[in-house]
């Protein structure tokens, strides 16, 4: 959906969040025009998925004891035909790949949003990382396209260049905003935006819209503030202020075919 439709419909985003960044993620959903809800109790999953428009699963602080519930949640969302976004934080660390492998085997994920190192793991390509951060370099278009082909999910690869791919169509947003990488949780919040913009239909176009929204907020914030603390708050304000026509103009200018 576009930003105008999003603000009119107020999509409810169920975030199965990590315990590091839920406050920032909830605020990002709220300021853009959606409605966030966080939960971990399996007894709530049927009720909450029924009223949700998107389910966003972040494995950043997974626990073995909760893994069956995580899979159950996605299966409920699959049955209810709700869009599911997976944020596979630091999946390249072997212990962090455990929940991701289980989720990918036992349930269906519609979109995977991660940094280049995380997406490279799905593509089977080596890419240097340092914990939650991608630190190497590589052919990000090839990585995203291959990961999409291997998983059957739309890939939303974020970084200096964002890449969106379904394995056939690939789009890029090559806009450098280094301050965007300074706030822990920007990626998690971006995953929630991806869920929100895809809540009516899962497409490359809607995924690119979500990625463009965060980039544009970063561009505008970095014109006003130069340090990370203020920047994080300014990004929230810019996400709140961006209008439909401004977002679509940015997309026209910066979203290119790969
Ligand atoms: N060097 C960079 N230049 C511009 N934008 C960046 C850069 N690094 C990250 N971003 C942006 O920051 C947001 C979060 O992406 P990223 O940092 O890759 O996710 P994660 O926090 O999951 O590692 C995205 O909107 C992405 O475009
Ligand atoms: C620090 C940390 N540790 C586990 S999850 C997490 C947050 C990751 O946030 P993001 O992927 O948005 O940088
Ligand atoms: Mg991340």
Question: What is the Cα gyration radius of the chain?
Answer: 17
CATH class of 3-257: alpha beta
Domain ranges of the chain: 3-257
Which atom of ligand 2 lies at the shortest distance from residue 191's CA? 12
Ligand 1 centroid vs 102 CA: distance in angstroms?
Answer: 26
State the pLDDT at residue 141: 98
pLDDT, one tens digit per residue, over 60-69 is 999 999 999 9
Kindly list the protein residues whose Cβ atom lies closer than 6 A to any atom of ligand 1: 115, 132-133, 158-160, 162, 176-178, 180-181, 186-187, 190, 214-215
Burial profile 174-202: b = 16 or more Cβ within 10 angstroms, e = fewer: ebebebbbebebbbbbbbbbbbbbbbbeb
Ligand 2 centroid vs 22 CA: distance in angstroms?
Answer: 10
**Please, which residues have CB less than 5 A from ligand 3, an ion?**
89, 187
pLDDT, one tens digit per residue, over 11-43 is 999 999 999 999 999 999 999 999 999 999 999
Beta strands at 54-58 and 12-16: parallel, antiparallel or unpaired:
parallel
Which atom of ligand 2 lies at the shortest distance from residue 188's CA? 12
DSSP category for residue 9: H
Give the confidence band of 257 by pLDDT, cuts at 50, 70, 90: very high
Closest listed ligand to the CA of 159:
1
Cα 53-144-172 angle, rounded to 5 deg: 85
């Amino acid at each position: 959906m576009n930003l105008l439709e999003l603000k009119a419909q107020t999509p409810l985003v169920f975030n199965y969040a990590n315990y590091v960044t839920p406050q920032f993620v909830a605020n990002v959903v709220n300021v853009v025009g959606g409605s966030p809800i966080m939960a971990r109790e399996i007894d709530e999953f049927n009720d909450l998925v029924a009223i949700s428009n998107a389910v966003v699963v972040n494995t950043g602080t997974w626990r073995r004891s909760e893994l069956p519930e995580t899979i159950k949640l996605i299966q409920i969302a699959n049955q209810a035909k709700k869009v599911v976004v997976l944020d596979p934080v630091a999946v390249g660390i072997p212990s962090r790949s455990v929940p991701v492998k289980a989720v990918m085997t036992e349930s269906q994920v519609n979109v995977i949003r991660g940094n280049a190192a995380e997406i490279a793991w799905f593509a089977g390509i080596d890419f240097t990382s340092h914990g939650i951060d991608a630190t190497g370099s590589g052919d990000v278009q090839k990585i995203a396209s291959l990961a999409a082909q291997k998983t059957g999910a739309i890939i939303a690869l974020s970084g200096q260049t964002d890449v969106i791919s379904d394995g056939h169509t690939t789009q890029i947003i090559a806009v450098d905003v280094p301050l965007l990488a300074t706030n822990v949780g920007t990626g998690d919040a971006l995953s929630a935006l991806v869920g929100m913009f895809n809540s009516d239909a899962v497409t490359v176009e809607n995924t690119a819209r979500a990625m463009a929204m965060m980039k544009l907020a970063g561009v505008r914030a970095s014109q006003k503030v130069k340090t990370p603390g203020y920047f994080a708050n300014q990004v929230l304000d810019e996400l709140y202020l961006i209008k439909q026509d401004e977002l679509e103009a940015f997309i026209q200018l910066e979203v290119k075919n790969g």
